[in-house]
Amino acid sequence: MKRALTLLGLVACLSAGAENSVPAASTSSAVSRAPISVPVASGVQQFTLANGMQLIIQPDRRAPTAVHMLWVRVGSMDEVSGTTGVAHVLEHMMFKGSKSLAAGEFSRRVAALGGRDNAFTSRDYTGYYQQIPSQRLEDVMRLESDRFANNSWPDEEFRKELEVVKEERRMRTDDQPRAALFEQLYAAAYVASPYRQPVVGWMSDLDSLEPGDARSFYRKWYVPANAAVVVAGDVDVAQVRTWAEKYYGRIPVKATPTRKPQTEPLQKGLRRIAVKLPAEQAYVALGFKVPGISQLETLGAQDKDGLALLVLSAVLSGYDGARLERALEQGPQRVADAAGSSASVLGRGPSMFMLTGVPAAGKTTAEVEAALREQVQRVARDGVDATELERVKTQWIAGNIYERDSVFSQAQGLGSYWTMKMPVNAEELLLQHLKQVTSAQVQDVAARYFGDDQLTIATLVPQPLDPNQPRRPAPATGGLLH
């Protein structure tokens, strides 16, 4: 599946799983022949409330609508063994009441205001949002601040909702062969990093999860200094700041827990797993551990490599007719029905570069695996043409401009970068840095990071389908939604 070269798409899916990652771009020996202008967002402002909560406001007066988001810097990577899935379960429970609202009342009130609401959980963060007519912004700020500070529900609501989450796991993972394969790949690739845990949780942990586990997680992580409010749309900055201080700023100060480092040890050899599941087609995924981007204001060596890996991925599969499509999916010698790449290099945890493929009729996963690796080796050997590099960068910038037509996209980008401790102009900085990536840099990372020692390969081995078992449609990609 091809995806538009957009930075928001990249950031939004980095924590959701490798199968949802967005491709990136690659290069040769010259920079772009024509200058590429990078758009800069105007008017965004960031404040710190009295209790340490962050407030980020992006005015956009083009339509009388506003998006209000609450981001909490906590996700499945902050869970402890035995309670995997609790971050996502708690996200569900946030809709089940507060000291002043009954279960389900929050969403009913948002709908009555003419808005829509939902929430999402990833490895790195949890988020809640409402999109409403801008004149209703104060109402949803009042509602969300109450929910954040006073989440409350009876045990019976927890037990009912836990069954909903279990069914979500069955639908999104257990009954989806490729999703199950990626779950197994991450569990095999990581030994110490909590990225080895699925966001939805292991079923055995969900079976034993108790109401107190969710309440303890809420009390520990849902504290003002670990959260940010993001507002974008037809709003006045001073007015939003006043409302934020009124509704959020009065929440009592609480200490943010100290996070213990969970550093992944160096992998010292190829890991390979086979996943046998009922499926119509085989599938292969190659996950290479690579450096990520930790900050954008002053680039270190690893940050520069992470940028070059983004560009490499976009050259491989970032647009219709990119390298993997041409080499593997077209012509009489085609080996794949689909092939793709992704560079998950932005996030709170370790980074991974993924190559994936579906064998064509009569072809094997081994042939697809070899063909995928050959395309990276070609870049390492021959570099990338300057025209190809320029095309990738131009499309990225065009995609960024289109994203800014949506106030929801603006808010989502600002919140995602905040969770990674990036500045409010992170997207502009990222675009500026990507603009400077050279063919030599892309060729260099292609040569250095794609050996066997940091590689985990997962192969889906199809088993016969049960004709009496109806097939569930694959759910939409992205983070886990409420």
Q: Between helices 386-403 and 426-436, what is the axis angle to 10°?
A: 170
152 burial (CB, 10 Å; 0-12 / 13-18 / 19+) is middle
Distance CA 70, CA 176 (A): 30
CA-wise closest residue to 58 among 345, 398, 403, 293: 403
Q: What is the pLDDT of residues 304-324, one digit of tens each?
A: 999 999 999 999 999 899 999
430: Cβ contacts below 8 Å, ≥ 6 apart: 7, 293, 296, 307
The strand pairing partners of 343, in sequence order, are 353
Q: Check whether 478 has a pLDDT greater than 70.
A: no
- 2 has a pLDDT exceeding 50: no
- Contact predicate 106/76, CB 8 Å: no
| pLDDT for res 397 | 80
pLDDT at position 14 is 42
**Quick one: pLDDT at residue 40?**
43
Q: What is the pLDDT of residue 382?
A: 96
With the C-alpha atoms ordered 148, 7, 421, 50, is the resulting torsion angle positive or negative? negative
pLDDT at 4 over 80: no
pLDDT of 451 over the 50 cut: yes
Q: Check whether 25 has a pLDDT greater than 50.
A: no
Contact status, residue 151 vs residue 93, Cβ threshold 8 Å:
yes
Residue 406 predicted with pLDDT over 50: yes
Structural domains of the chain, with CATH: 7-25+263-468 (3.30.830.10), 45-247 (3.30.830.10)
Which pLDDT belongs to residue 18?
Answer: 32
pTM: 0.90
Q: In this predicted model, what pLDDT tens digit does every residue of 132-148 receive, in sequence order?
A: 999 999 999 999 999 99
Which residues, 6+ apart, have CB-to-CB distance to 349 below 8 Å? 77, 123, 124, 193, 194, 195
- The pLDDT > 70 percentage for the chain reads 89
Long-range CB pairs of 424-427, under 8 A, 24+ apart, other chains included: 424/44, 424/45, 424/46, 424/56, 425/40, 425/41, 425/44, 426/296, 427/7, 427/8, 427/41, 427/400
**Which pLDDT band holds residue 369 (cuts at 50, 70, 90)?**
very high
Q: Tell me: pLDDT of 216 over 70.
A: yes
- Residue 330, both tokens: 């077209």
Contacts within 8 Å (CB) and 24+ apart, 326-329: 327/371, 327/374, 327/375, 328/357, 328/368, 328/371, 328/372, 328/375, 329/360
Given its phi and psi angles, is residue 421 left (phi above 0), alpha (psi -120 to 50 degrees) or beta? left
Report the alpha-carbon distance of residue 298 to residue 426 in Å, rounded. 12
Q: Given pLDDT bands bounded at 50, 70 and 90, which one contains residue 399?
A: confident
- Show Cβ contacts of residue 300 under 8 Å, excluding neighbours closer than 6 positions: 294
pLDDT at site 448: 98
What's the confidence (pLDDT) of residue 7?
Answer: 56
